[in-house]
Structure 1
Amino acid sequence: MLSQALIKSSSLKRLWLDQMEWGADLLLKALAGDDGNRSIECLYLSNMDGLGDCLRQVLTSNPSLKEVVLEYLRMRPEEWQQLGEGIRDNAMATNIRVRFDLDKNVEDRWNSIEALACAASSDVKDPRVELDLTLYSNHDSVLSLNLLGRVLRGELKSLKSFHIRRKDEYSGSNEDGLEGILSMNGNTGETSVLKKLTLETVQKDVLKDLLRSTMRRSGT
């Protein structure tokens, strides 16, 4: 069986699973618990569903994992919340990259993003989550900037890296509006734990406004 082969492999460093219907069962058998593989350092999971509590078990029980990438996973908001709690309390990996594409099921995915970011936030532990969002509408852009504002103000301390990518043209925005969204509300930004911020858009002038507003409001 594949799970037994993975458990016995001592040279394998990276494992990538994409669109696997039985991925949860494989992960639990091969990586979770005391008998799981201890050579794999990087785990990549893409376009999968049905993982549920499986991810939390793997992340909190496998000490060899250093980097975990979760791309476009289909889980309920409450499952993302449980995962965030696991990351906050007991996750072994120090780099956990999560990517969302908001091309459909937008409301549910935003609920998932909020659930993860809030649940993984800790006042005493270093952030582990690298969040990567691909957006397609002005509404999503505003929501992502609201989330960024909370991160810059230090209200959320779960993100070490935040990448916001806009796929189409951004309209109806200006610097004053952006400054309002990114307002520090009297905070200095000293409590923010964000280490890296990437803003990507097809319109250069909007990108400049975003950067100017972000730097001004963060006090840098």
Structure 2
Amino acid sequence: MEEETVEILSQAVIQSSSLETMILDNVKWGAALLLKALAGHDGNRSIEHLYLMNLDGLGDCLGELLTSNPSLKVVDLQSRMSPEEWHQLGEVVRDNAIATNLIVWFQFVSQRKYWESIEAFARVASSDVKDPTLELKLYPATDHDVMLSLNLLGRVLRGDIKSLKSFHLLEFRQPNSGSNQDRLEGSMEGPGLVLAREHKSNSLGFA
């Protein structure tokens, strides 16, 4: 899409008072549209829910969007970002009074190389002084992926990470090796759900 067309579309979005949801999936101009149409004091204020899938270049854009648009209630995020961009987004979530629920979807099959970035993002976003707004939904594809996910869950339950409002493991598969089972037991040590509730982690889901 040409820049002029993005400008026309963004103006149409700004002027609309009836839009409640915007879905952007695999479009190169997604970040530009978001900045033009939703960020800043003159952006659209009727949209409450964003679905952002398979987009590049969202690092700085998301930070500005979350801190300048008070109307957003939920942002569903399944996008490719560098470790630096995830780190910056974690700082925004931690350091600003953001009410927007940020739902991060992570599919190991296509995103496994970004796993350490997701872990770091959750740690950076962790705060002792504000209610969590981050929801993490993980799709493990192998037993190893399951163990990585459960190790992260263990840190949440022990209170090392306090940023998660909810934690979901989808398409869960039980590890079948003895060594993996030992690692599972180790990852779950500690006060567990009592500690998680004390640190405002409000829901835990498996499917």
Check 1:171–1:124 CA distance in 2 against 1; reply closer, same or farther (3 A cut): same
Secondary structure of the structure 1 residue equivalent to 2:149: helix
Q: Please show how residues 49-68 of structure 1 align to structure 2 within 5 Å.
A: 49-68=56-75
1:198 maps onto 2:166 in alignment? no
> Residue 163 of structure 1 aligns with which residue?
168
Q: What letter is aligned with 1:83?
A: L
Structure 1 gap ranges (5+): 201-220
Question: Larger helix proportion, structure 1 or 2?
Answer: 2
Q: What letter is aligned with 1:133?
A: L
Q: What letter is aligned with 2:36?
A: K
Q: Please show how residues 93-108 of structure 1 align to structure 2 within 5 Å.
A: 93-106=99-112, 108=113
Q: What letter is aligned with 1:20?
A: V
Task: Output the CA distance in 2 between the equivalents of 1:7 and 1:30.
Answer: 5
Structure 2 gap ranges (5+): 1-7
CA RMSD of aligned residues (A): 2.1
**Number of paired residues?**
198
Secondary structure of the structure 1 residue equivalent to 2:131: coil
Check 1:169–1:197 CA distance in 2 against 1; reply closer, same or farther (3 A cut): closer
2:9 to 2, 7, 30: 2
Task: Output the CA distance in 1 between the equivalents of 2:60 and 2:156.
Answer: 26
Contact 1:59–1:91, Cα closer than 8 Å, also in 2: no
Q: Which moved more, 1:158-167 or 1:76-85?
A: 158-167
- Offset at 1:27? 0.4
Contact 1:78–1:115, Cα closer than 8 Å, also in 2: no
> Residue 125 of structure 1 aligns with which residue?
130
> Residue 147 of structure 2 aligns with which residue?
142
1:21 maps onto 2:40 in alignment? no
Task: Output the CA distance in 1 between the equivalents of 2:174 and 2:192.
Answer: 32
> Residue 4 of structure 2 aligns with which residue?
none
Contact 1:31–1:62, Cα closer than 8 Å, also in 2: yes
Q: Please show how residues 170-185 of structure 1 align to structure 2 within 5 Å.
A: 170-173=175-178, 177-184=183-190
Secondary structure of the structure 2 residue equivalent to 1:160: strand
Check 1:91–1:14 CA distance in 2 against 1; reply closer, same or farther (3 A cut): farther
Task: Output the CA distance in 2 between the equivalents of 1:137 and 1:188.
Answer: 29
TM-score with structure 1 setting the length: 0.83
- Offset at 1:138? 1.9
Contact 1:7–1:37, Cα closer than 8 Å, also in 2: yes
1:179-210 residue CA offsets vs partner (Å, 9 max, x unmatched) = 2221118996164321111123xxxxxxxxxx
- Offset at 1:178? 2.4
State the percentage of identical aligned residues: 58
